[in-house]
Structure 1
Amino acid sequence: MERRKFIQLTGLGSIPLFFGACSLPEIEEGYDVAIDSNRLRGHVLREQLSKPVSRTFENDLLVIGGGVAGVAAYVTAQQEGRNVALLETNSYLGGSAGGGNFKSARFAKGAHYDLIYPSYYGKDALGLLQKAQVITQNEFTKEYHFIDTQYLIDPKKESTCMRFGERVHEPLSDFEDLPVFEKLLQPYLGKMPMPTRLIPQELHELNKIDFHTWLMQQHSFSDEFIRAVDYQMLDDWGGTSKEVSAIAGIHYYMCRDYSKSPELLSPPEGNLYFVEKLLGLSDYQNIHLNTLAAHIQETENGFDVKAYNFEKDQVEKFRAKQIVYAGQKHSLQYVFPKAHRPELMAEASAWISINFVYTRPKEKVEHVFWQNDFIGENKNFMGFSDSRAQFDYIEKYDVLTAYYCFAPEEREKLIAFEKDPSGIIEQTIVYLKESLGGNYPEKLKYANVNILGHAMPLPKPGYLLNDWNQNRPIQNFTYAGVDTGNLPLFFEALDSGIQAVKGLAD
Structure 2
Amino acid sequence: MDRRQFLYLSGGIITLGACKKSNPEILQKKLTFPIHIDSNSKTGHLVKSAIELPITSNLRTETLIVGGGIAGLSAACSSPSKDFMVCELNTRLGGTSSALSINNTLYSQGAHYEHTYLQNYGKDGLKLLEKLQVIKFNSYTNLWDFVDQQHLISSEQETACYVHGEMKPSVLLNSELRKNFFDLLSQFKGDFPLPSTLIPSELHYLDHITFYDYLNKYLPIDGSFINAIDYQMLDDYGGTSKQVSALAGIHYYTCRPYYSNQSIELFSPVEGNYYFINKMANQIPSENLHCNHLVFGLKKEMNRWHIDVLDTKNMIRKKVIANTVVYAGQKHALRYVYPLAFPQFKDVSYTPWVVINIAVSNDIKLPNSKWQNDFISTDTTFLGFADSKIQNPNNNRVLTAYYCFPDMHHYSVQHLETSYEAIVHETIKKISDYYKKDISSAVQEVYIKLLGHAMPMPKTGYLTTSRKLSIDGLAFAGADTGRLPLLFDALDSGIQASKMISNTEI
- TM (normalized to structure 2)? 0.92
Letter in 2 for 1:379: T
Cα displacement string for residues 352-389 of structure 1 (whole angstroms, at most 9, x for unaligned residues)? 0100011212x875421111111111111111111122
Paired AA for residue 51 in structure 1: L
Q: Does residue 382 of the first structure (1) align with residue 379 of the second (2)? A: no
CA distance in 1, matches of 2:49, 2:368: 56
CA gap of 1:402–1:343, structure 2 versus 1, over 3 A, is closer
- Is the 1:177–1:222 Cα contact (8 Å) retained in structure 2? no
In the other structure, the counterpart of 1:60 is 62
In structure 1, C-alpha distance between the alignment counterparts of 2:47 and 2:126, rounded to whole Å: 42
Determine the structure 2 residue equivalent to 1:392.
Answer: 393
Alignment RMSD: 1.9
Which residue of 2 is the match for residue 454 of structure 1? Answer: 453
Code of the aligned partner of 1:208:
H
**Cα distance per residue 1:432-471 (max 9 Å; x no partner):** 011122495852111110110010111011101346345x
**Matched residue type, 2:376:** I
- Give the whole-Å Cα distance in 2 for the aligned partners of 1:152 and 1:459: 29
- Matched ranges for 1:168-247 at <5 A: 168-247=168-247
In the TM superposition, what is the alpha-carbon distance from 1:345 to its structure 2 partner? 3.1
CA-CA distance at 1:208 after TM superposition: 1.0
CA distance in 2, matches of 1:115, 1:148: 13
Q: 1:333 to 1:165 in 2, by over 3 A?
A: same
Identity percentage of aligned residues = 37
**Distance in 2 separating the partners of 1:149 and 1:440:** 31
Q: Partner residue of 2:425?
A: 426
Instruction: Give the Cα–Cα distance (whole angstroms) in 1 for the partners of residues 376 and 352 of structure 2.
Output: 18
Trace 1:7-156 onto structure 2 (pairs within 5 A). Answer: 16=16, 19-23=19-23, 29-77=31-79, 80-156=80-156
Once the two structures are superposed, the pairs formed by residues 494-505 of structure 1 within 5 Å of their partners are: 494-505=491-502
- Greater displacement, 101-110 / 493-502: 101-110
Alpha-carbon displacement from aligned partner over 1:284-324 (angstroms, at most 9, x marks no partner): 33211101001111111311111111111110111100000
Query: What is the CA-CA distance between 1:281 and the residue it aligns to?
Result: 2.2
* One-letter identity of the residue aligned with 2:127: G
Shift of 1:106: 2.3
Partner of 1:368: 369
Secondary structure of the structure 2 residue equivalent to 1:392: coil
Per the TM alignment, residue 344 of structure 1 is displaced from its structure 2 partner at its CA by 5.6
Does structure 2 retain, via aligned residues, the 8 Å contact 1:104–1:393? no
CA contact (8 A) 1:468 1:479 kept: no
SS in structure 2 opposite 1:420? coil
Counterpart secondary structure, 1:497: helix
Structure 1 Cα separation of the partners of residues 355 and 373 of structure 2: 14
Distance 2:174 2:166 in 1: 12
Shift of 1:244: 0.2
Q: 1:266 to 1:183 in 2, by over 3 A?
A: same
Cα deviation, residue 225, structure 1: 0.8
**CA distance in structure 2 between the aligned counterparts of 1:356 and 1:24, rounded to whole angstroms:** 22
Deviation at 1:393, TM superposition (A): 3.5
Query: Match for 1:127: what amino acid?
Result: K
What displacement does 1:280 show? 2.2
1:476 aligns with 2:473: yes
Kindly state the Cα deviation for residue 413 of structure 1 after the two structures are TM-superposed: 3.6
State the distance in 2 between where 1:498 and 1:481 align: 10
Structure 1 residues 469-496: Cα deviation after superposition (integer angstroms, max 9, x where no partner)? 45x4x22001000000011111110000
Which position in structure 2 is the counterpart of 1:444? 443
CA drift of 1:17 comes to 5.4
Is the CA contact (8 Å cut-off) linking 1:208 and 1:461 kept in structure 2? yes
CA distance in 2, matches of 1:501, 1:475: 13
The offset of 1:180, in angstroms, is: 1.2
Secondary structure of the 1:355 match is strand
Q: What per-residue deviation string (whole Å, max 9, x for no partner) do you get for residues 118-144 of structure 1?
A: 111000000000000100112444321
Tell me, in whole angstroms, the C-alpha distance in 2 between the residues paired with 1:413 and 1:211. 28
Partner residue, 1:331: 333
Question: Cα 1:365–1:161, aligned 2, differ >3 Å: closer, same or farther?
Answer: closer
- Distance, in Å, in 2 between the alignment partners of 1:236 and 1:136 is 26
Query: Is the partner of 1:47 in helix, strand or coil?
Result: helix
1:201 is displaced (CA, Å) by: 1.6
The residue number in structure 2 matching 1:274 is 276
Q: Name which of structure 1's ranges 457-466 and 495-504 shifts more when overlaid on structure 2.
A: 457-466
TM superposition score normalised by structure 1: 0.92
Distance 1:58 1:393 in 2: 46
* Partner amino acid, structure 1, of 2:271: E
- Count of equivalent residues: 486
Distance change >3 Å, CA 111–CA 436, structure 1 → 2: same
Q: How far, CA to CA, are the matches of 1:46 and 1:146 in structure 2?
A: 46
Distance verdict in 2 for CA 1:253–1:86, change over 3 Å: same
- The alignment partner of 1:351 has SS state of strand
Q: What amino acid sits opposite 1:39 in the alignment? A: S
Is the contact made by 2:75 and 2:326 (CA closer than 8 Å) also made in structure 1?
yes
Letter of the 1:147 counterpart:
V
CA distance in 1, matches of 2:71, 2:383: 25
Report the equivalent of 2:483. Answer: 486
- Please say if 1:163 is aligned against 2:163: yes
Per-residue deviation at 1:35?
A: 0.4
Distance 2:310 2:497 in 1: 25
1:292 to 2:294 alignment: yes
For each residue in 1:237-263, what CA deviation from the matched residue of structure 2 results, as whole angstroms up to 9, or x when unmatched? 011100000010001111101123411
Residue identity in the other structure for 1:23: N
Q: Which residue identity lines up with residue 493 of structure 1 in the other structure? A: A
Deviating more after overlay: 84-93 vs 184-193: 184-193
Alpha-carbon distance in 2 for matches of 1:92, 1:163:
36
Gaps of 5+ in 1: 1-13
Q: Which amino acid aligns with 1:462?
A: G
Task: Quote the offset at 1:329 in angstroms.
Answer: 0.5
With over 3 angstroms needed to count, the CA separation of the structure-2 counterparts of 1:417 and 1:185, relative to structure 1, is same
2:352 pairs with 1:354: no
Query: Contact 1:32–1:446 at 8 Å: present in 2 too?
Result: yes
